[in-house]
Structure 1
Amino acid sequence: MSELSDLETLVLDFFLTSARNGRFNGVRAADAIARHTQTGSFQELLAQLIEGGSIECVFARRDVNPHIKRLPILPKDKQIEWVKIESLDSYCLYPSPALLAEKISPIELADRPFSRALLLGEAQLAFATFELGVLGRYRNDPRFVVQFHDYMGDMCISGEYYDSIKVPDRDKISVESFGLGLNADLIPHIIVFYRYLADLTPEHQQYWNSFVADHVPMCEPYFQSAVIGDWWENRSIRYAIQEEMRLINEMANAAFSKRLFRNEMTDDLSFDLSAFLVPSSDNFSSFIHSWDKLLSDNIEKDFFETRLI
């Protein structure tokens, strides 16, 4: 076995062993060189494999955790440049999608399309786009809790049903986070990172896969919070109304010792007030009706009563 193929096999075997345990980790360069017993310059061999398109590197300089491929890989020339200057314990090696496509059987994880995407080298924070109807199954199933926030949401089976032996294991699932995407016509879509989709059971991965839509851009606030880890400074109009209601009640209590609104909004939104609505006449009517209940129907009837002195 040549030095090149020896190192390539080491990186491939490490990744596949990790992937089949659900982790999809790369091997640290310092560990790879310790196990690489052939002669020659490790960096030169690695540069040849990167140039040849069979090995990729993830650097701590760019990503805080190089042990997982969170983001798309840097261009080859930049990888080769950094391999020559970065310390061996600060980056990890991965087989490229091209190499994985050659080595992995077409039937492996065929029933788990999103897990298979990671197995074939997809970045964990790459995302799939879905039609909004994908959530209908979970919103209409009392076993599941679907929560909506400004530009994101989450879904899981509730604890009561998760612990129940009557519920099949295939349904004991969750999607840690989903976000809002908009196409050119501003039609909302649901976007989910492959990392979260890969945790679904085969049955639910196939269900989600049936709702896959053409790729759309991720909305900026979700990108800021979910990818960069920066919460946006400007919240939605819905949040502004929530704050106005809270402040009005606070001022009313201070001035008149009673509230104007019986109930205040919370961060957990009903579906009818979320950003995940298909723009249809029925949804518009539901949207208006929900706001009417939350605002005009929510006013304390006796707030404006006067007392004769």
Structure 2
Amino acid sequence: MKDKILKQITDYYLNSRDFNGFPLYNFDKNYTDLICQLIDEDKVEVLSSAFVLNPHIKTLRLNIDKEEQKKEVINKCDSVVLYPTEKYLKSLNINSEKPFTKMLLDGQEQLKILFFNIEILESYFQDPRYEVFWSDYRGSIVVADEFYDDNLEGEYIKDFGLGYHKEKLYEERVVGVFLGDLADLSLNAQLKWKINYLDHQQDYFINGGFYKNLILGEWVDEVSIYDAVLDEMIVINNMCENMDIPHLFNKIYKPHTFEKPEDYRIMFLPTLKNYYGFMLALEKIIVHNINYKTFTTVARFIKPVERKDDKGNLKRSLQMMSEWLKQNIRTSENIDELIINPLKSIRKIRQVPAHEIYSNQYDKSLLKKQNEMILETYKAIRSIRLFFVNYPGNRDIKVPEYLITGENIRVY
């Protein structure tokens, strides 16, 4: 009878759609003693509402004391659910062509995070058949509607997160995915991800925001520096309205959404092509987006600058900005060093792919260069807002609290 009970629990787990546990109330007789013996023999384990929110799916490895498990069975507590143990399942040597489905067949937990070479994401970003939604530390992959019937329906990743090497940290980014999501992929898709599976999984860890949000169910109050730049631009334009001058930026992009320029994000593959793509997006968002009319408009306490130089040539926007800031702001800070030079660097780097033929290269140092560039850009844009706040009435303009404190801004 004990073997029959174990088989019933095991068959239910293996044949259920989501590798569900067998509810204790499904037994038509009282098998408490036999189930407790199976727990002692490491063949059956127990989840209940006393241990987890949803005991019908084994989400995490909990290592619950056996006596506590047996107590739930003896007391027939609410939502007692039985599972074959990982040790017992592995002894069955169940075969499967699908490598990640095999891991669930062997009893591993659904929310186990597996780590992969981050380059696999590039194949999805560069393929128009997929839509990749990315929000700085987590994202998802879906098949575009028009291609859903092209044998791609098995490629759907509900959640993936940014991970790092424990020693190299931000110098080596990886991608982490829940085992449950990977096990739902088609055979071809699982094999594709398996190729990018990293050895020494224990050397990697997932981003804290991903863990807090999706594992612990906690609210994440961190903000990406990429969104912080866009929020600063919104505040600056609002201050311009109060100053009765045209918006400093012609176009505003929505932060904290997926509605941002495609390459305005961290690079997944550190190549020159991707780096220059990022610089092009940054140049369009910031430098090319500057409104020269801001600097030629007369307003209260504000002196304009000329549109043309002494020779009658049109001045560039950054030259006008430099003159305008120095003319209207009293500060001991070096305005060119603080604001103008970082923005000039964007334009200078952007000119390379625009005017030269270059060969694409793989270079991990580009990750550091990208981080340095977005940091310098943020400091420049933030400095403009801090200068503007001293204009009469601008202190009443609403500024997101995180921009004021700067405490939760992250470079992922």
Judge same fold: TM > 0.5, yes or no.
yes
Alignment partner of 2:54 out of 58, 65, 69? 65
Matched, 1:202 2:187: yes
Give the stretch that moved more between structures: 267-276 or 54-63. 267-276
1:178 corresponds in structure 2 to: 160
Report the TM-score, using the length of structure 1 for normalisation: 0.84
Alpha-carbon distance change, 207 to 86 in structure 1, aligned in 2, over 3 angstroms: farther
Superposed CA RMSD in Å reads: 2.6
The correspondence of residues 159-238 of structure 1 with structure 2, limited to 5 A, is 159-162=145-148, 164=149, 167=150, 169-170=151-152, 173-183=155-165, 184-186=167-169, 187-214=172-199, 215=201, 216-238=204-226
Larger radius of gyration, structure 1 or 2?
Answer: 2
> 2:293 is aligned with what amino acid?
D
1:84 CA displacement? 5.2
1:88-128 superposed Cα distances (whole Å, 9 cap, x missing partner): 4322101112222233533xx21x11112112111110021
Q: 1:293 aligns with which of 270, 273, 284?
A: 284
Structure 1 SS opposite 2:181: helix
Letter matched to residue 185 of structure 1: K
Shift of the alpha carbon at 1:270?
A: 5.2
Corresponding residue for residue 139 of structure 1? 125
1:44 to 22, 33, 48: 33
SS at match of 2:168: coil
Moved more, 149-158 or 252-261: 252-261
Residue 253 of structure 1 is matched in structure 2 by 241
**3-state SS of 2:115 partner:** strand
The residue type equivalent to 2:176 in the other structure is I
1:67-86 deviations in Å (ceiling 9; x for gaps): 11111132343543542575
**Match of residue 112 from structure 2:** 126
Aligned length: 291
**CA deviation after TM superposition for structure 1 residue 156, in Å:** 0.9
| SS of corresponding position for 2:140 | strand
> Which amino acid is 2:3 matched to?
S
After superposition, the Cα gap between the structure-2 partners of 1:306 and 1:276, relative to the gap in structure 1 and judged at 3 Å, is closer
Question: Among 79, 83, 101, which residue is 1:90 paired with?
Answer: 79
Tell me how far 1:287 sits from its aligned partner.
4.1
Equivalent of residue 3 in structure 2, options 2, 5, 13: 5
SS of residue matched to 1:207: helix
2:345 corresponds in structure 1 to: none
Residue 188 of structure 1 contacts residue 275 of structure 1 at CA under 8 Å; is this kept in 2? no
Q: Give TM-score scaled by structure 2 length.
A: 0.64
Is the partner of 1:296 in helix, strand or coil?
coil
Aligned mate of 1:77, from 41, 54, 66: 66
Q: Which residue identity is paired with 2:14? A: L
CA offset at residue 161 of structure 1?
A: 1.7
Q: 1:121 to 1:243 in 2, by over 3 A?
A: same
**Is the CA contact 1:188–1:276 (under 8 Å) kept in the aligned structure 2?**
no
Cα distance, 1:308 vs. partner?
9.1
Match of 1:152 in 2: 138
* Partner in structure 2 of residue 23 of structure 1: 18
- Matched with 1:305 is 296
Residue 115 (structure 1) aligned with residue 98 (structure 2): no
State the shift of 1:237 in Å. Answer: 2.2
Gaps of 5+ in 2: 301-412
Partner amino acid, structure 2, of 1:249 = N
- Equivalent residues of 1:57, 1:73 under 8 A apart: no
- Residue 24 of structure 1 deviates from its aligned partner by 0.8
Distance 1:242-1:7 versus aligned 2 partners, 3 A rule? same
In the aligned structure 1, how far is the partner of 2:187 from the partner of 2:132? 20
Residues 250-304 of structure 1, C-alpha deviations (whole Å, 9 max, x = no match): 3323443743221324322556443453566765555445333322222223222
